[in-house]
Amino acid sequence: MITDHAIYRELAQKNNNKIVLLVMDGLGGLPMAADGLTELETAHTPVMDRLAREGSSGRSIPVRPGVTPGSGPAHLSLFSYDPVRFEIGRGVLEALGIGFALGPDDLAARGNFATADANGLITDRRAGRIGTEECIRLCKKLQEQTSLAADGYQVFVEPVKEHRFALVLRGPGLGGKLTETDPQVTGKAPLPVEDESGTAEGGHTAALLNKWIAQARKVLADEPRANTLNLRGLAKDPGLPRFPDIYQMRAAAIAVYPMYKGVAKLVGMDVIEFEGDRPHHEIAALARVWNDYDFFFIHVKKTDSYGEDGNFDAKVHEIEEVDKVLPDLLALGPNVLIITGDHSTPAKLRSHSYHPVPTLFWGVDVMPDVVQAFGERAAEGGAHGCFHATEMVPWAMGYAGRLQRFGA
Amino acid sequence: MITDHAIYRELAQKNNNKIVLLVMDGLGGLPMAADGLTELETAHTPVMDRLAREGSSGRSIPVRPGVTPGSGPAHLSLFSYDPVRFEIGRGVLEALGIGFALGPDDLAARGNFATADANGLITDRRAGRIGTEECIRLCKKLQEQTSLAADGYQVFVEPVKEHRFALVLRGPGLGGKLTETDPQVTGKAPLPVEDESGTAEGGHTAALLNKWIAQARKVLADEPRANTLNLRGLAKDPGLPRFPDIYQMRAAAIAVYPMYKGVAKLVGMDVIEFEGDRPHHEIAALARVWNDYDFFFIHVKKTDSYGEDGNFDAKVHEIEEVDKVLPDLLALGPNVLIITGDHSTPAKLRSHSYHPVPTLFWGVDVMPDVVQAFGERAAEGGAHGCFHATEMVPWAMGYAGRLQRFGA
């Protein structure tokens, strides 16, 4: 069932038990051939298999049956926020992910540098995938040469990665339901920002954004590749309920990529900074902050990237790499450990998918079920059945003894 | 899914098929050691195992994932009332459980006799667990020597069991959201009743209760053990929809302990009186009223009590005792039989827990599933899967042919 926070907010109690949520992005897979194994089934994962034997398995549905999630909604769901109810703009995630201190009234957009021809028609939606150094230079140029100061607004143009940047407008009365400028295909002109809310606030904000876009395109006009731009996911911080307040846990996020740091920050987790980008670097960071938090979200990205590349073997290998660092994680003494993915990314499909995600719960009060290994089909027989991903944190709260009894 | 009554109220139809809901309190368990069996898995239960083979199993979630229920909410859920939506005070349960004819405007509280030191600090929250005879004497004394008649209210002080009694106030304009006086730990003074609703009704009711408490404490002052008291769960009958009206079934409750009679009465079941407190006494009572009702709730308490005592073997034995009386139950010819618990009480944890409860459905139109025995892990592979306990009565209604077709 889909989590309603009210009852957990009422029942949550503090203790010393620690919960780890280990997410291998896009973990779920499919066999490449009808009688084959999935990536996870193929991987040699002696530690995960042992945890599955000692614990209890299931398969999680990130959003709704048949629905393929993006990364933002999928993570919201893991954190127990129904993504259908709690919507967040891509711009907000992008800004938070780069550590931008987004205010509650700021409006954020994801920006994409792009290439247009002489008629203004988009020829490359990613500006030839310019490098991050180039992105930094372009953002600096836009920051210096564009302005909405005459209208009473501050503008922040922040580089993210390659062709991607974040745009933030700061000032009074921003809002509305704003459309994106990206036509989604090449050969078409960018669209204007429009407001679908019909509010005065929305109309005003759309006008401001179009004014800034016009300035920015002029500034970029003589660039060889990034001679235009598009804005997507234009919105304010939706002001989600704070995870540490609902569950009475100090929560830490250990992730490499901006998006995942962003979602974690959005629900009030502390993002832990660390050097390196491999699973063992993440476990080292975990060890360093172990005593300062109650709940730990650890995000492994490459499983998803290899899935999207259609690289079955590399995804298998990355899962095995995670298995190898698990002893170091277990040595820290978590009371409850969840191993899961945010969604499936079968190499066969080369994209995110809606397939339920194999999930295991491990802890001293978890009932050992009949499942003997960690995998998609093994998990089908697990005690947790097929469940909505928003149940995950609540079950962990129960297993950790962090919920008071409900009623007499 | 969580039951909504509207559709069942619309579709319920009468016939001659009888449904039995047999509840072993706290049935669900855990292995004492990682590779061990649970209480139910250990018990020799040839009849339940046969019923599981012939019927269909599943595991029920009483309230929400990870949430440990109290007895009241857990039973509401078994009766198909979502306990998060339908809240009831402990005082109401206590009063109904002793057969007190609670009116819709009466305010009820659970009272606990307690011991205080010379400074008024609680030294024993249960007054040395005085016997029931003592409780009766004390309640009589309070009934005679306290009064709110000058304020226009009747007071009823009714003994329950050992240190427990029920207090009922009768008169106009009672209500509010009232706090409990029990400080929950020894070494502290009792708290005053306060109103959190901020209504005139609430403030007035809190003042009345504090006035009565002051009188009562004076009356008790020279008692050797029960020289003070606390009030808990202060509320009115929430006026739940009536089970017989929703399901078009005459419903009987067969239980030994007040709490369970109380919840059954609250939803409109008739409580059957009988001699004795063992499962075979309950089956004898069932046989006696078999022709007068359509739905029978039978409650076995000791499974929970032994679980709370951490007495694994005694819990196993009690489950076996229930198995032995099942042939007499089956001889009556129920069309549908459900065997379940209201929640888990693993001897390992010595308390209620959030673990899903093994449940079996048996009846001529129940699909026999692959499950070959009645137990926690056997039920994991059952046809009913992991389901919310409020689904139980609706499934039984279907199996009993007591629901009309929905739509043409």
Question: Can you give the residue ranges of every domain in chain A?
Answer: 5-87+240-399, 93-236
Contact A395 B66 (CB under 8 A): yes
Q: Residues 6 or more apart from B208 whose CB is under 8 A from it?
A: B148, B151, B153, B169, B174
For all residues of chain A together, what is the average pLDDT? Answer: 96
Bridge partners of A358, per DSSP, are A59
Out of A367, A369, A406, closest to residue B68 by CB: A406
* A7 vs B contacts (CB less than 8 Å): 63-64, 67, 84
Q: Which of A50-54, B259-263, B401-405 has the lowest mean pLDDT?
A: B259-263
Contact assessment for residue B343 and residue B301, using Cβ atoms and an 8 Å cutoff: no
pLDDT in tens, B103-129: 889 999 999 999 999 999 999 999 988
Residue A27 pLDDT more than 70? yes
pLDDT of B258: 83
Give the ipTM of the model, two decimals please: 0.85
pLDDT in tens, B119-169: 999 999 999 889 999 999 999 999 999 999 999 999 999 999 899 999 999
pLDDT of A408: 67
Burial B104-133 (b: 16+ CB within 10 A, else e): eebbbbbbbbbbbeeeeebbbbebbebeee
- Total Cβ atoms within 10 A of residue A292: 10
Whole-number percent of chain B with pLDDT over 90: 89
pLDDT of A259: 84
Secondary structure class of B150 (helix, strand, coil): helix
Whole-number percent of chain B with pLDDT over 70: 100
Cα distances from A267 to residues A95, A242, A261, B65, in angstroms, run: 14, 5, 10, 21
- Total Cβ atoms within 10 A of residue A85: 11
pLDDT of A96: 80
Euclidean distance between CA atoms B105 and B152, whole angstroms: 14
For every residue of B237-252, DSSP letters joined together read ---PPPHHHHHT--EE
pLDDT in tens, A178-224: 999 999 889 999 999 999 999 999 999 999 999 999 999 999 999 99
pLDDT in tens, B19-78: 999 999 999 999 999 889 999 999 999 999 999 999 999 999 999 999 999 989 999 999
Secondary structure class of B178 (helix, strand, coil): strand
Alpha helix (H) residue ranges in A279-374:
279-289, 302-309, 312-331
Out of A4, A365, A382, closest to residue B349 by CB: A365
Euclidean distance between CA atoms B373 and B51, whole angstroms: 8
Contact assessment for residue B379 and residue B53, using Cβ atoms and an 8 Å cutoff: no
Contact assessment for residue A319 and residue A24, using Cβ atoms and an 8 Å cutoff: yes
End-to-end CA distance of chain B: 24
Out of B352, B385, B388, closest to residue A405 by CB: B352
User: How are beta strands A336-340 and A357-363 bridged, if at all?
Assistant: antiparallel
Optimal mutation site among B63, B67, B345, interface A, most CBs of chain A within 10 A: B67
Region label for A154, one of left (φ > 0), alpha (ψ between -120 and 50) or beta (otherwise): beta
Angle (CA) B369-B371-B377 rounded to 5° is 135
Out of B34, B71, B90, closest to residue A368 by CB: B34
Q: B5-88+241-399 has which fold? A: Alkaline Phosphatase, subunit A (3.40.720)
Instruction: Say whether A93-236 and A5-87+240-399 share the same fold.
Output: no
Contact assessment for residue B329 and residue B14, using Cβ atoms and an 8 Å cutoff: no
Euclidean distance between CA atoms A137 and A115, whole angstroms: 16
pLDDT in tens, A31-74: 999 999 999 999 999 999 999 999 999 999 999 999 999 889 99
Residue range A120-146: mean pLDDT, rounded = 95
pLDDT of B34: 86
CATH of A5-87+240-399, one of 3.20.20.10, 3.30.590.20, 3.40.720.10, 3.30.980.20: 3.40.720.10
**Tokens 């009371």 appear where?**
A335
Residue A79 pLDDT more than 70? yes
- Total Cβ atoms within 10 A of residue B286: 23
Contact assessment for residue A77 and residue A63, using Cβ atoms and an 8 Å cutoff: yes
Residue range B296-324: mean pLDDT, rounded = 97
pLDDT of B362: 98
Q: Residues 6 or more apart from B366 whose CB is under 8 A from it?
A: B54, B55, B56, B336, B399
Out of B90, B356, B381, closest to residue A408 by CB: B90
Distance from CA of A166 to the nearest CA of B (A): 38
Q: Residues 6 or more apart from A371 whose CB is under 8 A from it?
A: A52, A53, A56, A57, A360, A378, A379, A381, A382, A383
Residue A104 pLDDT more than 90? no
Residues in chain B whose Cβ is within 8 Å of chain A: 1-2, 30-31, 34-35, 59, 63-73, 83-84, 87, 90, 93, 110, 232-233, 349, 352-356, 376-377, 380-381, 385-386, 388
Cα distances from A238 to residues A77, A94, B321, B322, in angstroms, run: 15, 14, 57, 54
Banded pLDDT at A263 (limits 50, 70, 90): very high
Residues in chain A whose Cβ is within 8 Å of chain B: 1, 3-4, 6-8, 11, 54, 365, 367-370, 381-385, 387, 391, 394-399, 403-408
Chain B residue closest in CA terms to A55: B34
Please indicate whether residue B219 or residue A262 has the higher confidence score (pLDDT): B219
Any idea what DSSP says for residue A374? -
Three-state secondary structure along B27-73? EECCCCCCCCCCHHHHCCCHHHHHHHHHCEEEEEECCCCCCCECHHH
Contact assessment for residue B106 and residue B170, using Cβ atoms and an 8 Å cutoff: yes
Secondary structure class of A170 (helix, strand, coil): strand
Q: B93-236 has which fold? A: Alpha-Beta Plaits (3.30.70)
For all residues of chain B together, what is the average pLDDT? Answer: 95
Bridge partners of A362, per DSSP, are A337
Phi/psi of residue B50, each to 5°? -65, -45
Please indicate whether residue B392 or residue B3 has the higher confidence score (pLDDT): B392
Contact assessment for residue B242 and residue B236, using Cβ atoms and an 8 Å cutoff: no
CA atoms within 13 A on the CB side of B181: 26
pLDDT of A388: 97
Tokens of A236: 């304010």
